[in-house]
Structure 1
Amino acid sequence: MPETIDWVPDDHVPQRSRRGVLVLLLVIALLFAGSRTAVSFYVDSLWFRSLGYGEVFWKTLDIEWSVFAIFAALSFAVIYGAYLALRRVHADELPSGHTIYLNQKPIRLPVEPVFRVLAVVAALLVALISGASMMSEWPAIALWRYASARSGATDPIFGKPVEFYLFTLPAWHLILNWLLAMTILCAAMAALLLMVTGGVQAIERRRLRFADEKPRWRTISIALAFLLLVAAVREYVGRFDLLFGLHTIFQGVTYTDVHVAIPGMTVVAAALLLGTVIAAWNAVAGRNPRLLGLAVTPAILCFFGMTIVSWYVTNFVVKPNELEREKPYIVYNIEKTREAFGLDKFQQREFPAETTVAAADAGNNQPTIQNIRLWDWRPLQDTLRQIQEIRTYYDFPDIDIDRYDINGTQREVMLAARELNVDKLPESSRNWINEKLIYTHGYGVTMNPVNGFTPEGLPTLMLSNMPVQSTVPEMKISRPEIYFGELTNTDVYVKTKQQEFNYPQGDTNSLTTYEGTGGIELGGFLRRLLIAFDRGDLSKLPFSDDVGPQSRLLMRRNIRDRVSTVAPFLTFENDPYLVIGGDGRLRWIIDAYTTSNDYPYASRYQMQDGTANYVRNSVKAVVDAYDGTVTLYVFDAQDPIISAYRHIFPSLFRDAASMPDWLRKHVRYPETLLNVQGEVYGLYHMTDAGVFYNREDLWTVAREVGNGENGEQTTLPMQSNYVLMKLPGETGTEFVEILPFTPSNRNNLIGWIGARSDGANYGTAIVYDFPKTRLVDGPLQVEARIDQNAQISGQMTLWNQRGSQVRRGSLLVIPCGKALLYAEPIYLQAEHSPMPELRMVVLALQDRLAYGASFEAALSSLFGESGTAQETVASAEQSSAGGQPSTAAKSGDQQGLIHEAAQDFADYQRLTAEGRLGEAGQKLDALKKALDALSRSHL
């Protein structure tokens, strides 16, 4: 015995010691994780406060943790309460302990205390999981809490307003899913207790003694009653989901749904309620376990009955007369889908698409003609990277298209931000001081007109170089530094003792110090330590002599990450664009959308990274490139979703009317929105149910010839393009986003959308329907005409064989007068230098194709028979040539013209063979002018 007594402590002390160590490590881990979370909250609060949105941060935190606390507390109460109730029912059967024999020695196991501990632990675990999952859904709960019904319109089936489906129904689904999970867990707990108390053995007996089994069947009856009650509510609420059903022809409710499924689901819900009553009565009486089967039988019978009737109605009532039966519901789908995607704001107009040169009316459409975009963004980006990056660590991540008043005239231009890419820094310069303190920002922008070219085929730059040089007196940049942009993905510290690199200047560098108020002030050592801990900079920041109390941390500098953190409930455009402000500062504009999948009767479409059946471009986010200030302007106050968020966060949004006028001039119709609307419009422009059902007039976005991923030519869907033009039937020049359409599986044009961006017309669109009685060339047909032209095809073949590659720009289709004008730039790129140069411009009408080495030459060739056009072209040529006509044209000497043309052609061939493409282009232009002059001399 003494040996046994000595052995027991020897056996247990190490176990207790190990257990204590494990508990200590667990406590330390929890404290560490909790401290990281607390520090992250602290730094985030500083960041939001630096933007002036501290109230938004605390309101969001309050909503999130309120949702967590409520559902965690309810979950714990339900699970632990269910355990206590079940424990009370089985008080006489659940043993306080159980004895087992190990090596013929009795060991007493404390069953009841173990179950109590397990119940508490399980309830806590379930509470944490359910609270966290519901916490992540806080926008749905908040919208339900703060939204108010504003629209008077109701759906035709249930009579509910749109706000019910956008806000109330999603919240109901969340709560019902939570209730179902709780009910299933409680049922599982009841089953577990039955097994422990011998319920399994009692159920397996051939002869049951009901008087002895009342507590056990009472337990099952209670669990079943709650399960059936939740199922009944879910079935009743599930009727509303039929309005979002996906079917072969359309989406939404169907004839079978209205006449069978909805009444049937109501009956099933009633049957489930009846089963709830039966199960509850059996729980009180506890007399007959067979009543449990009776409780679920009515619902099962009703469900199978509804399924059989639905099958019969679908196959023998609907399908033989599908159009007639489904017609009202197709109309609902058409109307609601058009509303959900804003197609009801589209105006439709007929466009004659005439074929003659006179129909283009060049004289009255000069704003359109003179702003035809010839620079495609991809070749321009490659060219700018060669001529304007200056140093290898700069990059132009994107090209933006906008309009500005230049010399008293509105011009369409292309802008590119010169951003700093720290990943391109030399390896020897990749250290903490350089990356965090010195190389902190990009510098400047480039700007060029959309059709401006030098004689070498390069862009005519209005803004360029470092420091920024401007050829336009009124275009000045006061703050060219870009601390916040599309490539600024790292944290930096500013206002330190280290001066920041500004831009290269000969053999030296221009240095600067940040003068803005953006970012988080580092303050004392404790705040600096907490910030370093949160940002993963603990080994450097607290010990740097260059960082002082006045230094500032600039974090979340990527503008999309920045605005997404401020308003995570919005969907942001993937393509921000840069604006030069009236004060000379650089600002980014990012379009933001409110989306939903819960708009009744509407069809769902792909929207960036997800799907949506409702979308509104309700917000324009503006980010200052220097100090990172974020301002959100509401541009669709009628949108119920943004109205609800404004109620939740009143300090976050501003009215569109408060946007400065100089900034409002640069607001544009978003690309993503028009692309999605274009996809929807291809089907839903058919408003007649019969035409829609038969898909008689299905449209698709037109396709064009483009370069694939490997550089090979292929056909691709056209992307929307921005143009500055005068819309047919309208007065004045507008900034318009265009998208052409062809009939499905055909190449001829059938329609064209012009989305408007200026003034009172902002947010509207015009759809021009082309004649269906004759062929109107589509982009691929025009591309085929270009390829079939012997001169153009021969020239491109020649270029492709001499150490260079031909690149084709986007083909623009622009209504001009009463005709359609097609324009495509063609670039030449040497193999040894990825710097495309414009070498040819192709213009076309329906039955006329022209080309030239310059835009003016192509215009002259196309409109040569039009007196107005000739005057315009002559003026343009004279302007480009410095106001003096060519000497050969003055002399009128035909022999001299022939000799000059022959010499130009010989020089062109020689320069092309030598790879001197810029000079070769000048000779080709001179050759074209000589031939034009020779042609005129024969008239």
Structure 2
Amino acid sequence: MSRRSRFSLGLTVLAIFLILTMVGWGAGLYVDWLWFKNLKYPQVFITSMVSEIGLRVLVGLFIFGWLLLNLMLTRKSVWQAIQSFKPFRPFQQEDDNIIIINQRDWREHITLGRLTAVFTAVSLVFAFLYSTSVSGDWVVLFKYFKQTAFGTVDPIFKKDIGFYVFSVPFYEYVYHLLSSAVLLSVFLVAVVYLVTDTARGGLTKIFRFPTARYHLSALAALFFLLKAWGYLLNQYDLLYSPRGVVHGAGYTDTHATLLAYKVLFVLSLITAAIIVVNLFLRRFKLTLYAIGGLIVTSVLLGGVYPGLMQKFVVLPNEFSREAPYIAHNIKFTQQAYNLNQVQRQGFPAGRTLQASDIQENINTIENIRLWDWRPLQQTYSQLQEMRLYYEFKNIDIDRYQVDGDYRQVMLAVREMNQDQLPGQAKTWINQRLKYTHGYGVAMSPVNEVSAEGLPQFFLKDIPPVPSTSIKVTRPEIYFGESNDGYVIVNTKSPEFDYPKGDGNAYTHYQGDGGVKINSIFRKLLFAAALGDYKLLLTSDITNDSKVLFYRNIKQRIPKIAPFLSYDSDPYPVINAQGGITWIWDAYTTTDKYPYSEPFDKSGSNYIRNAVKVTMDAYNGDVHFYIADSKDPLIQTYSKIFPGMFKPIDQMPADLRSHIRYPEDLFLIQSRMYAVYHMNDPQVFYNREDKWTLPSEKVGNEEKPMEAYYTITVLPGQQKPEYVLIMPFTPQNKKNMVAWMAARSDGENYGKLLVYEFPKQELVYGPMQVEARIDQDTTISQQLSLWDQRGSSVIRGNLLVIPVKDSLLYVEPLYLQSEQSKMPELRRVIVAAGEKIVMEPTLDQALQRIFGEGVGLTMPQPPGQPPQANQPGRPTETQASVQELAREANRLYDDAQAKLKAGDWAGYGQSLNQLKDVLNKLMEKAQ
């Protein structure tokens, strides 16, 4: 094959590749448009795509025009260099009258038109490459033009916080764009002049020709003008300086570095002016002196001088120098994390809980969470997944009105995991048309346990079987946390719905979600966009068929709003219609809040839970609700995308009753508050009262304690409410000094409370209670015994429960045999004051501590009689013969179980209880 043929073939292959790439890109773009349109967010798509493409085109055109202009200014120099070579002689006379015919001169191939074409091609390539780097930057521009004031000014430059959040990023973006364009043009024209000047005059005459000097001097002057602007922008970055004792501008930054930037700003302008003047004076050494002086000044003023000031002026008197800046850091960090809204209250210590306190706060006791989500997820999997292809992705915690009572529950959605289908079943038909959705929900109260140590289900099995007023009438899960691939519904092939006896039940999708494939054109589009040619070959697709894609909530919602940050845990809610709706917390963040301490590695130092997002598990409908209307960032996004965000009041009431304070935000605020509860700069500087988040035993390891939800009556309140709690311990100590609560119900949603203990009183912290558990001889012996008999003991979360103005510590214990992955709840450890007990149930543990008059009002597991002395239940003296007989039978079974487990102490206790019941039974018989 000739060289020309190979070249033509290469061009053909390249053209085909480019065409296929453009077709795939265009198909994906149009499919996304159909998807946004189906979700009723076409304006979001138009705004995003037009802005994205428009910005890339504008930036590309600017870079192209700028580079081409500068390259065209070199064209004359290049042409002169070409013409300066010795003239071409087609014939050459040699000795003996021999005439040699020379080959064609390479200069004949170079014309001004071809030179222009080369410069145009080079400019296009660099412009295209640079334009790809600005993907997503359109948000910066829109935030600048639609910005909202924060209403607070910084203490150094006296500008509104919005200036730093919205304006400065825009100015920096423009500055980097212009600087990059100038530097890129300097590089290209320098290469051109280097080659042409070397060709004309040798290495000793590089850049000595006037055209090169003038051109490069003009670019240098423009660069230093931009550099002066850059020094002005650098001033504002001092507000995030990590140099001092706190984050933000310190004494050295404001007295040395800020001065350096101002001097360098003036010197940059002078340098640019000298370069321009030298275009006429031709004293180019003066230019070198100016540039050299700027560099030396930058090193001395920008590096050496601040270092000397920090070492010899600040460090010997650090607190007195830094005190005002520490106060700025405390104030603005508290504002950035909303910690200035925390309500601080005292909480008495040393008071011992009484039986009356338990009875008066029975709703709190009923909702103590005995099930840890880790072992419960394994138990759910064993009991309720039913088939290999079903999966409980997460166990979530929520609260519901259950038969008129406010109850805390744990629930999980049974989703489809196609990866767990048997190998022979992983066909295209099954994965795309048959196994399209998960089915149903499992739900259990946080504190109820069966006689076998397993959860008591409010909802279970397939189809969902309710034991309470909570019912699921639309159990299909098409959109959730596990649904990663696309599926096609309403085809000729019925969808698998759920297993039924020896066979299966089938269904057809009846929702509004998905995009129709009602033409051969759309078939081609989806085949190209999804990269699946089988879409074109299947005969099961009809005009009513729909493609459901972007079904995973963590893919679906960020595709609509990529400018928001999201919580790590979306959670399902059973709505009033019996369907399933996902709720996901979204945050607005920035790294431009002055003086605020960052909370992550990317430097983000401001966060608000500004948005609650809902997604229907059947239809896939997505709605954004503003949860914090005071947040300037969400106000700005609302201006950019009119109609996208709705007021929280427009969220359906049944869903609004399930919104909760998000754990991720609470953890960030807790970590910050552990340091930033100190308002006095002197105390803050010395870290005299620094707190830390406690640790606890999970399994056999010590791990950081997780925040936990519970239903309790907060001190000073009358009604039980759903709160998120985190205790605090002092630095390098294990006792507890305070606890924080975030409220989630009604008009109190979002309020943060901190209850502080008296500093002179000892209140046990979580690890101290864990140590007391390990040191209790009876408990430790029992745990050791279980661990030696083919079972492993799993220690659940230690919960610190506020009851009235005292604390109750509760830790569940689970047993898991070596052959089974189904942990069973077998013991509950309760600590109150100096007492610590371990019993089979929370009720029994409370009775051991507070006496027989204390009991729970929750329903008992089947086969167990009501506990004694509880409201609405018969007392022991009123118990019927039948009830006593059932109790005797239960105690006998319990004694046998303890005997098999080697629990001799428990075995003896059960026999004593059995004897008491038998005596009462005999009295009844008489």
Instruction: Mark yes or no: TM-score above 0.5.
Output: yes
Check the 8 A contact 1:756/1:763 in 2, yes or no.
Answer: yes
Q: In 2, Cα distance between the equivalents of 1:650 and 1:326? A: 45
Structure 1 residue 930 displacement after superposition: 4.9
Q: Does 1:74 align with 2:62?
A: yes
Q: CA RMSD in A?
A: 3.1
- Summarize deviations over 1:887-929 as a string: whole Å, max 9, x none: 99999xxxx9xx999977863454337xxx9xx9997884584
Q: Residue 10 of structure 1 aligns with which residue?
A: none
Query: 2:271 — aligned with what?
Result: 275
The alignment partner of 1:612 has SS state of: coil
1:202 to 1:162, Cα distance in 2 relative to 1, 3 A: farther
**Are 1:411 and 2:407 counterparts?**
yes
- Give, in whole Å, the separation in 2 of the partners of 1:420 and 1:25: 42
The answer to whether the Cα contact below 8 Å between 1:217 and 1:289 also exists between their aligned partners in 2 is no
Q: Which one of the candidate residues 290, 296, 299 is aligned to 2:291?
A: 296
1:145, CA displacement in angstroms? 2.4
Counterpart residue number, 1:698: 690
| Cα deviation 1:536-567 (Å, max 9, x = unaligned) | 221x2222221101101000111111101111
Q: 1:191 to 1:902 in 2, by over 3 A?
A: closer
Per the TM alignment, residue 759 of structure 1 is displaced from its structure 2 partner at its CA by 1.2
Gaps of 5+ in 1: 1-12, 708-712
2:172 alignment partner in structure 1: 173
Q: Conserved in 1, the CA contact under 8 Å of 2:353 and 2:833?
A: no
Q: Which residue of the partner structure matches residue 350 of structure 1?
A: 346
Q: Give yes or no for contact 2:895–2:906 (8 Å, CA) kept in 1.
A: no
Q: Is the 8 A contact 2:349 2:763 kept in 1?
A: yes
Q: How many residues align?
A: 898
SS in 1 for 2:576: coil
Query: Which residue matches 2:808?
Result: 821
Q: Does residue 477 in structure 1 map to residue 466 in structure 2? A: no
Query: Could you tell me which amino acid in structure 2 is paired with residue 198 of structure 1?
Result: D
Distance 1:490 1:37 in 2: 19
Task: Supply the AA of the counterpart residue of 2:529.
Answer: D
Q: Counterpart of 1:56?
A: 44
Matches within 5 A, 1:48-447: 48-88=36-76, 92-93=80-81, 95=83, 105=103, 107-109=105-107, 110=109, 113=112, 115-148=115-148, 150-198=149-197, 205=204, 213-247=209-243, 249-283=245-279, 285=280, 287-306=282-301, 307-358=303-354, 361-447=357-443
| Pairs within 5 Å for 1:285-684 | 285=280, 287-306=282-301, 307-358=303-354, 361-472=357-468, 474-538=469-533, 540-606=534-600, 610-684=602-676
Residue 5 of structure 2 corresponds to residue 17 of structure 1 = yes
1:3 is aligned to none
Q: State the shift of 1:17 in Å.
A: 2.1
Q: Percent identity?
A: 38
Deviation per residue, 1:91-114 (Å, 9 max, x gap):
655648788999974632355656
Using the size of structure 2 for normalisation, the TM-score is 0.92
Change (3 A) 1:929 1:575: farther
Give CA deviations for 1:822-874 in whole Å, capped at 9, x if unaligned.
Answer: 00000111111111111111111231212211111011112128x6x369799
Structure 1 counterpart of 2:174, which letter? I
1:860 is aligned, of 847, 852, 862, to 847
CA change 1:461–1:129 in 2 (3 A) is same
More deviation, 842-851/803-812: 842-851
* Partner AA of 2:123 in structure 1: A
Q: Distance in 1 between matches of 2:859 and 2:658?
A: 33
Residue 883 of structure 1 deviates from its aligned partner by: 5.5
Q: Is the 8 A contact 2:454 2:824 kept in 1?
A: yes
CA offsets, 1:730-754, max 9 Å, x none?
2211110111111122211112111
- In the other structure, the counterpart of 2:821 is 834
User: 1:99·1:107 contact (CA, 8 Å) conserved in 2?
Assistant: no
Distance in 2 between residues matched to 1:844 and 1:928, nearest whole Å: 24
Partner of 1:723: 710
CA distance in 2, matches of 1:592, 1:156: 30
Residue of structure 1 equivalent to 2:719: 732
Task: Tell me how far apart the structure 1 counterparts of residues 912 and 485 of structure 2 sit (CA, whole Å).
Answer: 52
**Equivalent in the alignment of 2:901:** 912
CA distance in 2, matches of 1:349, 1:928: 46
What amino acid is aligned across from residue 63 of structure 2 in structure 1?
A: S
Q: How does 1:700-849 map to 2 (within 5 A)?
A: 700-707=692-699, 713-849=700-836
Distance 1:902 1:510 in 2: 43
Q: Any conservation in 2 of the 1:50–1:518 contact (CA below 8 Å)?
A: yes
Residue deviations 1:124-159 (CA, integer Å, cap 9, x gap): 1121122221233222122112224x2332111111
Residue 159 of structure 1 aligns with an amino acid whose one-letter code is: K
Secondary structure at 1:537's aligned position in 2? coil
Q: Cα distance 1:726–1:294, how it changes in 2: closer, same or farther (>3 A)?
A: same
Q: Which residue of 2 aligns with 1:4?
A: none
Query: TM-score by structure 1 length?
Result: 0.90
SS in 1 for 2:630: coil
Q: Is the 8 A contact 1:484 1:557 kept in 2?
A: yes
Unaligned 5+ segments in structure 2 are: 90-99, 921-926
* Offset, 1:444: 0.6
Deviation at 1:194, TM superposition (A): 2.6
Partner of 1:879, secondary structure, is coil
Residue type of the alignment partner of 1:108 = W
Q: Which amino acid aligns with 1:265?
A: Y
* Offset, 1:533: 1.8
Gap change, CA 1:927 and 1:139, over 3 Å in 2: farther
**Which secondary structure does the structure 2 equivalent of 1:729 belong to?**
coil
SS in 2 for 1:605: coil
Residue 92 of structure 2 corresponds to which residue in structure 1?
none
CA distance, structure 2, for counterparts of residue 350 and residue 93 of structure 1? 86
Does structure 2 retain, via aligned residues, the 8 Å contact 1:94–1:112?
no
Code of the residue aligned with 2:305 in structure 1: it is V
Distance in 1 separating the partners of 2:742 and 2:150: 26
1:35 aligns with: 23
In the alignment, the residues of structure 1 paired with residue 650 and residue 890 of structure 2 have an alpha-carbon distance, to the nearest angstrom, of 60
Pair 931,227 (structure 1): closer, same or farther in 2 beyond 3 Å: farther
**Correspondence 1:2-13 to 2 at 5 A:** none
User: In 1, distance between residues paired with 2:633 and 2:908?
Assistant: 58
